[in-house]
Amino acid sequence: MVHAQVVLFDGFDPLDVIAPYEVLGAAGMVTEGLLTVELVSAEGPREVPSGIPSLSLRATATLDPTRADVVVVPGALGRLPDDEEPTDDSIPVILSRTLDTPLPELLKEALDRPGLTVATVCGGSMILAMAGLIEGRPATTHHLGLDLLDATGVVAVDARVVDDGDLVTGSSVTSGLDVGLHLLERELGPRVAHAVERLIAHERRGIVWRSTGAEPKVGV
């Protein structure tokens, strides 16, 4: 039995949440319950506003690394980073506000727990990076945020999905589907991942990047 928790925080990007949640939920359906998934927040059960003012989702439980096998952290929805002074509705500001909540400490606990995988979609990796939890580790994020990720001391990789063992990161918003399917292949095997891939009619894009194998000597 695998239990996944998908994190909500104020200003989250709805697609970052719903894409992996539906993939993981579909796995529970096709395996008749081998995987369960729930929406959680660091503060516990509550209505959590997304980055779309009219849309909220309900967290039904508290993020609890002692109960989870997989924790998925989404990014934020707001104004894109630019050269202007950051505003309250800009993505970096929304993400940085999570640092004043219990979320970073809970994510540290998750990363410290053997056997638990922390996965992120889009700007979710920036939360871990800004909290100083993944310094020196390879990770990805939205292509517009790769420089910011690199500036935190993370090894920024321009790939759709990066697998660094207990840390799996996805790049753009739609990569949540690919992250979810990759997690299924890791946790339940390729037959379940393939069944869900066919069910949702989505083929994963690109190579999952890992720090293994021969290293290219010429940049491409």
Q: Bin 122: left if φ > 0, else alpha if -120 < ψ < 50, else beta.
A: left
**What's the rounded mean pLDDT across residues 105-114?**
98
Query: Domains of the chain (ranges plus CATH)?
Result: 2-116+177-209 (3.40.50.880)
Side-chain-side CA neighbours of 135 within 13 Å: the count stands at 7
For residue range 69-84, what is the model confidence (pLDDT) as tens digits?
999 999 999 887 666 6
If you ran DSSP here, which 8-state letter would residue 97 be given? H
Whole-number pLDDT of residue 81 = 65
Helix 190-200 and helix 14-30, axial crossing angle in degrees, nearest 10: 120
The answer to whether 220 touches 207, Cβ cutoff 8 Å, is: no
Q: Looking at residues 51-65, what average pLDDT do you find?
A: 97
Dihedral of CA 96/99/102/103: which sign?
positive
Q: Above 80 in pLDDT, residue 220?
A: no
Task: Using DSSP, state whether 3 is helix, strand or coil.
Answer: strand
pLDDT at 89: 82
Q: What is the pTM of this model?
A: 0.95
Return the pLDDT at 82: 65
Phi, psi torsion values for 42, nearest 5 degrees: -65, -25
pLDDT of 85 strictly over 90: no
Count CB-CB contacts under 10 A for residue 132.
Answer: 13
Question: Which pair of structure tokens corresponds to residue 149?
Answer: 């990720």
175-188, pLDDT tens digit by residue?
999 999 999 999 99
How many Å apart are CA 20 and CA 177, to the nearest integer? 5
pLDDT at 78: 87
Residue 83 has what pLDDT? Answer: 62
Does residue 219 have a pLDDT over 80?
no
